[in-house]
């Protein structure tokens, strides 16, 4: 759907013809509207044919709504009978499935979706060509931290969020002009862990914290793949709920409150043609060795002295002009998925006293290794910034990161001044 149409709101002021066209564009299906026992005229408004007295209502329709529930909402808000039919208007869709599932069944019914490639006219979801040698790729989703997670508004009086089982219903990516989506059978959920709906600041709001691994074949969804590349692999993940018995819930139980994009991080190697190069793990040199190239901090801890601790690189940060992108060390207590880079060497570390009180300049150089193809958003940020990065330092004691009683990184210092340096490929002398 287009960026402007992300929330498809139906109001009584809409013309019947406009609504039908909009519905077909958004969901690929046919919406039949009735004025009594006959089809409604395309040129009249919904309000003019509604049978209920009083002010006309409005509601949002999403692909996750069941056909039956959509028809009931029209009856409730407008007193209008509607039916959802296939894209060619030749049959009625099953009441018990969602609009997204109805579209997939419609595509299979009409032969527009194939499991294997044949001629060029064979296509996948949303007109995407199906690629015969497509390979599944696994991606990691990290919404574990509430600060970076999406929020919903709970509207159900019949169900409590803690009594239901969450599941991933959709993955949405902003392609610039249009949003591209994966639904249901388009992807496979490999793992869904640590789900924690934290109470938000406003009444009946919940911040959905969790981690997940999903798998799909990106070459079977070229429009979605292009959107990923456009957005630096930033996606929004939609969560829905089932009963503990695994049954779908036939009513709207939540509404969107705030959506927070997250990086879809590659966990497995795919075919080299996807990114245009087959880059494996490489070594890179970071030089904060001189005071002029060093970042400065203000030491805040009364329990530890900087001179008594062991430094380590916990993050490599890149600023693309709009957002900060990070690679995290496997030593960092809050890291998920095994870390994004390895520190091979950390040399010449010196905390030089600065001009301010408790100020230190962190001088050092380091050799690290990473596979940038597994971190496409960071790789794109590097290209935009001219390979400029900061290596962030934290500290260990007796070889272990310093953490508080809750297992979180201990607060030791505040950042003062940042100095970016180039992420360089090291030059080794040839042996003769």
Q: CA 341 to CA 371: how far, in whole Å?
A: 8
pLDDT at residue 311, rounded to an integer: 96
pLDDT (0 to 100) of residue 343: 93
Which residues sit opposite 188 in a β-bridge?
215
Residue 399 CA: distances (Å) to CA of 138, 300, 337, 432 = 33, 21, 21, 39
Q: Could you give the CA distance from residue 358 to residue 13 in angstroms, rounded to a whole number?
A: 64
With 60 as the cut, is the pLDDT of residue 278 above it? no
Which residues of 40-94 form beta strands (DSSP E)?
Answer: 58-61, 82-85
Closest CA to 100 of 192, 244, 238: 238
Average pLDDT over residues 233-248: 88
Which of 36-50, 101-115, 137-151, 193-207 has the weakest average pLDDT? 101-115
Q: Which residues contact 31 (CB under 8 A, 6 or more apart)?
A: 19, 20, 23, 24, 82, 83, 84, 85
pLDDT for 112 equals: 42
Minimum mean pLDDT among 22-36, 187-201, 274-288: which range?
274-288
pLDDT confidence of residue 429: 54
CA atoms within 13 A on the CB side of 75: 9
| Residue 45's pLDDT band (cuts 50, 70, 90) | confident
Choice between 377 and 111, residue whose per-residue pLDDT is larger: 377
Q: For the segment 397-421, what is each residue's pLDDT rounded down to a tens digit?
A: 988 888 877 777 788 999 999 999 9
pLDDT band at 118 (very low <50, low <70, confident <90, very high): very low
Q: What average pLDDT does the segment 113-123 reach? A: 39
Q: What is the pLDDT of residue 12?
A: 76
Whether residue 38 is predicted with pLDDT greater than 50 in this model: the reply is yes
């Amino acid at each position: 759907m287009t960026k402007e149409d992300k929330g498809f709101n139906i109001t009584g002021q809409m013309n019947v013809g406009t609504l039908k066209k909009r519905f077909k564009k958004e969901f690929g299906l046919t919406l039949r509207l009735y004025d009594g026992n006959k089809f409604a005229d395309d040129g009249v408004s919904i309000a003019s044919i509604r049978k209920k007295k009083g002010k006309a209502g409005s509601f949002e329709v999403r692909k996750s709504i069941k056909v039956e529930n959509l028809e009931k909402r029209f009856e409730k808000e407008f007193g209008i009978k509607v039916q959802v039919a296939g894209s060619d208007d030749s049959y009625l869709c099953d009441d018990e499935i969602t609009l997204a599932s109805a579209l997939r069944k419609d595509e299979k019914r009409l032969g527009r979706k194939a499991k294997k490639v044949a001629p060029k006219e064979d296509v996948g979801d949303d007109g995407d060509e199906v690629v015969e040698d497509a390979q599944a790729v696994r991606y990691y989703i990290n919404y574990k931290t509430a600060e970076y997670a999406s929020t919903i508004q709970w509207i159900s009086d019949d169900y409590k969020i803690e009594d239901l089982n969450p599941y991933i219903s959709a993955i949405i990516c902003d392609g610039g002009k249009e949003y591209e989506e994966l639904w249901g059978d388009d992807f496979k959920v490999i793992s869904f862990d640590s789900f924690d709906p934290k109470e938000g600041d406003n009444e009946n709001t919940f911040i959905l914290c969790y981690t997940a691994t999903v798998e799909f074949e990106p070459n079977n969804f070229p429009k979605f793949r292009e959107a990923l590349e456009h957005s630096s692999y930033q996606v929004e993940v939609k969560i829905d709920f089932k009963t503990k018995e695994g049954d779908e819930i036939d009513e709207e139980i939540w509404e969107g409150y705030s959506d927070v994009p997250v990086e879809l991080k590659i966990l497995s190697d795919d075919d080299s043609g996807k990114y245009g190069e087959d880059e494996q793990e490489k070594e890179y040199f970071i030089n904060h060795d001189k005071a002029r190239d060093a970042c400065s901090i203000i030491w805040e801890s009364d329990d530890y002295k900087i001179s008594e601790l062991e430094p380590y690189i916990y993050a490599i940060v890149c600023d693309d002009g709009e957002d900060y992108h990070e690679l995290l060390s496997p030593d960092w207590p809050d890291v998920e998925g095994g870390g994004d880079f390895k520190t091979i060497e950390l040399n010449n570390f010196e905390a030089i006293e600065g001009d301010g009180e408790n100020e230190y300049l962190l001088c050092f150089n380091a050799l690290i290794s990473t596979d940038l193809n597994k971190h496409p958003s960071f790789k794109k940020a590097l290209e935009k910034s001219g390979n400029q990065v900061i290596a962030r330092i934290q500290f260990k004691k007796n070889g272990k990161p310093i953490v508080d009683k809750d297992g979180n990184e201990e607060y030791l210092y505040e950042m003062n001044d940042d100095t970016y340096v180039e992420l360089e490929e090291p030059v080794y002398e040839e042996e003769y």
